[in-house]
Amino acid sequence: MNEHALFQERVVRLEKPQQRCLFLIAHNGQMLGLDDDEQRCLCDEGNDRVVWDRTPGGFRHVATGVEMSAAVDGGTCTLQVGCERVAFTPSLGPEQLPSAYLRHLRQEGWVCLTCILPDEVVLGLERVACTDRFAHLEQTQGVPKICQDVAVARAVCEPISLWLIRNYLGTEDLHLGHPPGFGVLSPYEGTGKVQRWHVDIPYIPSIGGNPVADRKGPIKAVQRNVCVSDFTKERGATAYKLGSHLADTPPPPAWNAADANEHGLPYSGADADVVEAPAGSIILYDARTWHRAGINRSKRKRAGMLQSFQTADVIPKRDTRHACARLHESAVYPQLNDREQREITELLMNQPRQE
């Protein structure tokens, strides 16, 4: 095989799920779950407790098999929880149990929650990114993306990915490393900037001032790439060296050398991987993983929403408190439910703790 051949990365393809489980979501954003005694309870966390399947007469709790009867009328059902009657909206949830995703994340250093975001959230993200159904528009500048459409904060607060990140990092206390932004790749026409292989903060120098962390020390950050467009190899899906979170070093300089191939592009040989996933999927990966944006050889722009979730001791690249203040003043904030308002405020306002 020609070592310098382009676009030879191995493709790992996640297909659109045939079947998805459900969440039962209350007006305040809490989800119906079963506690350790198999009693109904209201939960904030996206773990196995809150995942249900539909049955002819109601719902089945996937993790325990406990069934309950319920009548869904006009898209909602009212159920007894303790001494309260609570109305729930059944909404499409994950393909797998959160514990199965966590196993994959711990074993492989990455996981994909395929098609986890609702269609209306994907639509809102496309609108802000100005891609796909809104590709004819230009992005609004000067207003934080999180204030432009409720979909941005809603995607940040997706409950299973937050539960996975907290469990992988072993802490409840997280913050975002920068206000949510979009990585939009225009079609590559043979010239122009192409992202190089890298790892993410805190494993590289940061303009925020965080010292470079030891790759062998405690894990300090998880990246979350939300597929706003369909992520395919041809359309510039992120390239990774899967498993490289365990490597002693960042990517080899040869992978970024001008002579990595005859076109001066970063390495795209068969030792690298591309994760293909449909729009609405969320890809989580350990920040030590070698990766780079793909090269968009399609005719359409590709958007991802990119975030870094960091432990309490990491100094963010950008202060996110200003974006939070703007969000609180914006028309978007009241559209978020109580759970989302709490989560997003915490993730943007938490400040690093010096150890």
Ligand X SMILES: O=C(O)CCC(=O)C(=O)O
Q: With CB under 6 A as the rule, give the number of residues binding ligand X.
A: 10
| Interaction between residue 276 and ligand X (CB under 6 A) | no
Our CB check for ligand X shows the closer of 45 and 132 to be: 132
Q: How far apart are CA 213 and CA 33, in angstroms?
A: 38
| Interaction between residue 225 and ligand X (CB under 6 A) | yes
The minimum distance between CB 326 and ligand X, in angstroms, equals: 23
Sequence-ordered list of residues with C-beta below 8 angstroms from that of 236, at least 6 positions apart, any chain: 185, 188, 293, 294, 295, 296, 297, 298, 302
The minimum distance between CB 99 and ligand X, in angstroms, equals: 26
Q: What 3-state class would DSSP assign to 246?
A: helix
Our CB check for ligand X shows the closer of 150 and 242 to be: 242
Q: Give the interface segment with ligand X, choosing from 82-90, 170-178, 247-255, 289-297 (CB under 6 A).
A: 289-297
Within 10 angstroms of residue 49's Cβ, the number of other Cβ atoms is 18
Pairing of strands 290-292, 239-241: antiparallel
Residues in the chain: 355
Our CB check for ligand X shows the closer of 183 and 187 to be: 183
What counts of helices (H) and strands (E) characterise the chain? Answer: 6, 18
Our CB check for ligand X shows the closer of 260 and 293 to be: 293
Please select the residue that binds ligand X; options are 293, 314, 336, 344, rule is CB under 6 A: 293
Tokens 């209350």, residue located: 26
| Interaction between residue 347 and ligand X (CB under 6 A) | no
| Interaction between residue 243 and ligand X (CB under 6 A) | no
Q: How far is CA 152 from the centre of its chain?
A: 11
Our CB check for ligand X shows the closer of 60 and 198 to be: 198
| Interaction between residue 306 and ligand X (CB under 6 A) | yes
Residue ranges in 159-198 that form contacts with ligand X under rule CB under 6 A: 183
Nearest to 115 by CA among 227, 224, 237: 227
| Interaction between residue 98 and ligand X (CB under 6 A) | no
Q: How far apart are CA 231 and CA 199, in angstroms?
A: 20
| Interaction between residue 200 and ligand X (CB under 6 A) | yes
Our CB check for ligand X shows the closer of 86 and 265 to be: 265
Q: How far apart are CA 255 and CA 269, in angstroms?
A: 9
Q: Which residues of the chain form contacts with ligand X (CB under 6 A)?
A: 183, 200, 223, 225, 238, 291, 293-294, 304, 306
